């Protein structure tokens, strides 16, 4: 009879537990709907933009090793990805978020503990003198669950989902850090190359101006040129000398920037020899794309995961208004002798369910819910701002891409014309046909045209890098 009663009790407890677990499917979180993109459906088009290209590969599908054409730059990026401290911090943040998710997920399941104990008691016998004292030895082994919260209303599952989304967001931030690092590496590398070319140009110009100064001084001694001509030639020569000092500093600072990005001293075989006219990147990037391509950017993906986490947090806050049901259970064996610890009839068990119903919390739960809802609203705005920022970055890069080719062509022609004018002016001055002022002006115009052409070449490279980054490239 005792056995049948025990069996019925265990069956009822099992049914009750199964029913509780079935109710655990209740979810108080709002249904997640991705916010509409607060930007036009298509990226901008117009006079400043290149025409749409049919069937072009999306930038996010182009591996950075394929996008960057110079082998020295590729080696630098590999070194930076291995050693950059900011990227290491981002990787550690991902590991932290993953560990937090594992901790939170473990709270859904019961924690089972096993313990053993022994007690030894000696009590005097109350029957009288001469009677030996009584001794009792008790041994027990117990396995049990302590205060396991049965997740009826999804509080623990929403907290676990929130931690999971935070983990995904940290992974997205890590990917965004990699994309940004690759772009910074490439920009710093081409900037160093351009500054090296500027330094070479300044040295060549200083030499040319120095020769002009020597000729002018000789003509002044011969009475053909004036002291004003000499002072004007001296001014141009000193300006070129000043530019040499400035560009020497710039090259040194560019090297320092590369060392910081790479996390170590960059070997000479990874440094550029100069910018020149060779493209360091692919020039065939898509145009006329839909705004949906922005959703592949890791920073926008991270912002959406943050929004999903805030949405799950609302579910946990709502569940706090409902009863909290916990279960404490234990089963084990106990005997008065160690040899009979696991013998027949030594087993015991206990089950202790408990329920807590919030009645008066003076607004704590309501405040937590309002906080979760406000956080969700902030995450919506953050996500939308991320999309708008990405749209603007891509649009700006596309606008510059659509016009940089024409500007580079015009400035190349201008530089060539200035060079020809400079050679003619020098020849005419030496023959005494033109005054010195014409030669000086053409020298300055030629020098300025060379500097402008270098700046435009650099901008063409940095624009390609920025467009690659803005469109989500750099992960593969």
Please report the pLDDT score of residue 252 as a whole number: 94
The three-point CA angle 183-52-34 to 5° equals: 65
Q: Look-up: residue for tokens 């624009």?
A: 463
Please report the pLDDT score of residue 57 as a whole number: 55
The model's pLDDT over 87-143, given as tens digits with 9 standing for 90+, comes to 888 889 898 888 888 888 888 777 778 887 777 777 776 555 656 666 776 777 787
Q: What's the longest Cα–Cα distance across the chain? A: 144
Grade residue 195 by pLDDT with cuts at 50, 70 and 90.
Answer: very high
CA 222 vs. chain centroid, Å, equals 69
The burial class, CB within 10 Å (0-12 / 13-18 / 19+), for 174 is buried
Best CA proximity match to 86, nearest among 202, 218, 174, 23: 174
- Report H helices in 263-294: none
Please report the pLDDT score of residue 126 as a whole number: 57
Please report the pLDDT score of residue 11 as a whole number: 39
| Higher-scoring residue by pLDDT: 269, 285 | 269
Rg for the chain (alpha carbons), in Å? 39
Please report the pLDDT score of residue 10 as a whole number: 36
Task: Centre a 10 Å sphere on the Cβ of residue 39 and count the other Cβ atoms it contains.
Answer: 18
Beta bridge partners of 140: 117, 334
Q: Look-up: residue for tokens 């005419």?
A: 428
Task: Centre a 10 Å sphere on the Cβ of residue 232 and count the other Cβ atoms it contains.
Answer: 19
Please report the pLDDT score of residue 127 as a whole number: 57
Across 13-33, b (16+ Cβ under 10 Å) vs e yields eeeeeeeeeeebeebbbeeee
The model's pLDDT over 443-467, given as tens digits with 9 standing for 90+, comes to 888 888 988 999 999 999 898 888 8
Residues for the chain: how many in total? 476
Q: Look-up: residue for tokens 């391509």?
A: 293
Say what percent of the chain tops pLDDT 90.
13
The model's pLDDT over 291-312, given as tens digits with 9 standing for 90+, comes to 888 888 888 989 999 999 999 8
| Higher-scoring residue by pLDDT: 290, 382 | 382
Across 62-74, b (16+ Cβ under 10 Å) vs e yields bebeebbebebbb
**How far is it, in rounded angstroms, from Cα 448 to Cα 418?**
9
Best CA proximity match to 140, nearest among 121, 117, 112: 117
Average pLDDT over residues 365-392: 89
Task: Centre a 10 Å sphere on the Cβ of residue 209 and count the other Cβ atoms it contains.
Answer: 23
- DSSP character at residue 295: G
Please report the pLDDT score of residue 23 as a whole number: 47
Average pLDDT, the chain: 81
Task: Centre a 10 Å sphere on the Cβ of residue 223 and count the other Cβ atoms it contains.
Answer: 7
CB 59 within 8 A of CB 469: no
CB 439 within 8 A of CB 208: no
Best CA proximity match to 286, nearest among 37, 43, 41: 43
The burial class, CB within 10 Å (0-12 / 13-18 / 19+), for 91 is middle
CB 318 within 8 A of CB 118: no
Please report the pLDDT score of residue 248 as a whole number: 93
The model's pLDDT over 409-433, given as tens digits with 9 standing for 90+, comes to 999 999 999 989 888 887 887 777 7
Please report the pLDDT score of residue 12 as a whole number: 45
Grade residue 341 by pLDDT with cuts at 50, 70 and 90.
Answer: low
Task: Centre a 10 Å sphere on the Cβ of residue 112 and count the other Cβ atoms it contains.
Answer: 11
**How far is it, in rounded angstroms, from Cα 253 to Cα 367?**
52
Grade residue 255 by pLDDT with cuts at 50, 70 and 90.
Answer: very high
Task: Centre a 10 Å sphere on the Cβ of residue 9 and count the other Cβ atoms it contains.
Answer: 12
Please report the pLDDT score of residue 19 as a whole number: 46
Q: In the chain, what are the domains?
A: 29-109+153-321+371-470 (1.20.1600.10), 110-122+132-150+323-357 (2.20.200.10)
The model's pLDDT over 42-88, given as tens digits with 9 standing for 90+, comes to 777 777 777 665 545 566 677 888 888 888 998 999 999 888 888 88
């Amino acid at each position: 009879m005792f056995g049948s009663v025990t069996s019925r009790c265990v069956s009822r407890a099992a049914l009750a537990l199964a029913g509780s677990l079935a109710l655990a499917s209740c979810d108080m979180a709002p249904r997640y709907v991705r916010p509409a993109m607060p930007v036009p459906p298509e990226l901008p088009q117009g006079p400043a933009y290149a025409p749409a290209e049919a069937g072009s590969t999306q930038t996010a599908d182009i591996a950075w090793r394929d996008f960057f054409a110079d082998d020295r730059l590729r080696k630098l990026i590999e070194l930076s990805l291995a050693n950059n401290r900011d990227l290491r911090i981002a990787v550690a943040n991902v590991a932290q978020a993953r560990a937090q998710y594992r901790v939170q997920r473990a709270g859904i399941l019961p924690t089972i503990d096993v313990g053993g104990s022994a007690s030894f008691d000696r009590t005097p016998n109350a029957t009288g003198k001469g009677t030996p004292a009584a001794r009792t030895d008790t041994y027990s082994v117990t396995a049990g669950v302590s205060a396991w919260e049965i997740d009826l209303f999804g509080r623990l599952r929403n907290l676990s989902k929130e931690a999971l989304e935070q983990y995904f967001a940290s992974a997205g931030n890590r990917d965004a850090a990699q994309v940004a690092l690759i772009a910074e590496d490439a920009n710093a590398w081409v900037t160093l190359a351009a500054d090296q070319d500027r330094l070479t140009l300044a040295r060549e110009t200083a030499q040319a101006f120095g020769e002009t100064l020597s000729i002018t001084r000789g003509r002044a001694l011969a009475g053909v040129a004036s002291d004003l001509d000499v002072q004007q030639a001296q001014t141009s020569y000193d300006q070129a000398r000043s530019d040499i000092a400035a560009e020497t500093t710039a090259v040194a600072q560019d090297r320092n920037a590369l060392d910081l990005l790479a996390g170590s001293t960059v070997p000479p075989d990874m440094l550029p020899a100069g910018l020149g006219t060779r493209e360091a990147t692919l020039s065939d990037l898509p145009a006329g794309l839909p705004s949906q391509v922005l959703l592949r950017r890791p920073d926008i993906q991270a912002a959406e995961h943050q929004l999903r986490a805030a949405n799950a947090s609302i579910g946990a806050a709502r569940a706090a208004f409902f009863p909290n049901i916990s279960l404490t259970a234990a089963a084990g064996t106990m005997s008065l002798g160690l040899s009979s610890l696991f013998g027949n009839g030594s087993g015991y068990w206990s089950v202790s369910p408990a329920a807590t119903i919030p009645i008066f919390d003076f607004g704590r739960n309501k405040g937590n819910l309002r906080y979760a809802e406000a956080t969700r609203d902030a995450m919506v705005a953050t996500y939308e701002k991320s999309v708008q920022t990405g749209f603007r970055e891509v649009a700006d890069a596309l606008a510059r891409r659509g016009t940089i080719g024409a500007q580079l062509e015009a400035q190349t022609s201008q530089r060539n014309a200035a060079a020809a004018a400079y050679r003619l002016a020098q020849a005419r001055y030496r023959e005494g046909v033109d005054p010195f002022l014409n030669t000086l002006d053409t020298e300055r115009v030629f020098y300025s045209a060379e500097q402008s052409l270098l700046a435009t070449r650099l901008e063409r490279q940095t624009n390609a890098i920025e467009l690659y980054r803005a469109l989500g490239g750099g992960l593969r």
